[in-house]
Amino acid sequence: MDDIENLLNESFSHAGQSNVPTFEAEVVASLMIQSNAFISIKTAAKLCSLSRQSIDRRIQQGTFPPCQRLSSDDKAIRKAFRIRDIQQWMDSPITYRAPR
């Protein structure tokens, strides 16, 4: 997951620069969508232009997709979002309601 995040971060940091190839980032993004990959809250925040605190608040309100717990260790909690859930939210952020 960190390799994917690095590629996405690289494509975000070079946005608007025509001399930087984005082919790899586009391929990775396409594969992530096709496989319904997990993304971190950091990546979700960048994609949605929200702060991590706003995402946490919206999850509590039921207006943002819930995250999935990836770790079983109580001390090291690793959570992530499914890319399709984030994509669904991005399609209609005002009317989105998390499934119960």
Could you tell me the CATH number of the domain that includes residue 62? 1.10.1660
Using alpha carbons, select from 58, 98, 27 the residue that is nearest to residue 4. Answer: 27
Is 96 within the bounds of a domain? no
Give this prediction's pTM. 0.68
At 74, give phi and psi (nearest 5°): -65, -25
Is 6 within the bounds of a domain? yes
* CB atoms closer than 10 angstroms to residue 100: 5
Q: How many domains does the chain have?
A: 1
pLDDT in tens, 15-70: 555 545 577 777 777 887 888 889 999 999 998 999 999 999 999 999 999 998 88
Task: Give residue 65's domain range.
Answer: 2-91
* CB atoms closer than 10 angstroms to residue 17: 8
